[in-house]
Amino acid sequence: MKVKICGITRAEDARMAIEYGADALGFVHELSSPRALEDEAAKWIGDLPPFVIKVAVFGRVDRAPAKSFYDFTQGVEWDVLPEAAPKRIHVLRLRKGQKANDFVMQTVNSGALLLDAFREEAYGGTGHTVDWDLAAEIVQRSVRPVILAGGLNASNVQEAVRRVRPYAVDVSSGVERAAGIKDWEKMREFIELAKSA
């Protein structure tokens, strides 16, 4: 199981996530998020070790990431598309009562899908879980890798992995002390549990 730690705002948190075995790190550039990084404040991202995937995270992708060190761009709405479609992670925000068929046509022109819970107040990072049965059906039907997000933490990640069988899991608020400030013990535990599920 691959693990993405999202909403990283500090170099020390990024380095600890890598040390604990994270496969990908998410850096939020959605200005409405409490975890948003300003482009100039993120220079240290380029100094992180190689062989960990770096993702520029947006709600609405209205501009290209300012730095060239990102491997993927993630977004819900796309005003600007990455030059290469496989470099795109398309977020599907799941609402109660929806069916897998509702998402069949939304999976084009992306390298991977990320499933998160729909909330009016924010694009992500709200701590709300998705319907795992719906998520599992989307995983079964998708021809692209599916990343499961939405309310994951150390207490539920193993059950989520067993029920949904995603390509990877994504966590933000579930490993935090405060918005954008990671709890290292929670990160370590989450990564270990996810990878052993």
From 6, 13, 23, 131, the catalytic residue? 6
User: Alpha-carbon distance 159 to 57, whole Å?
Assistant: 26
From 39, 71, 102, 116, the catalytic residue? 116
Residue 43 has a CB neighbour count (10 Å cut-off) of: 11
Start-end of H helices in the chain: 11-20, 132-141, 157-164, 184-196
User: Alpha-carbon distance 91 to 4, whole Å?
Assistant: 14
Q: Which of 189, 180, 188, 167 is nearest to 9 (CA)?
A: 180
Q: Is 183 a catalytic residue?
A: no
Q: Is 116 a catalytic residue?
A: yes
- Under a CB-based contact definition with an 8 Å cutoff, are residues 75 and 58 in contact? yes
Task: Show which residues are catalytic.
Answer: 6, 116
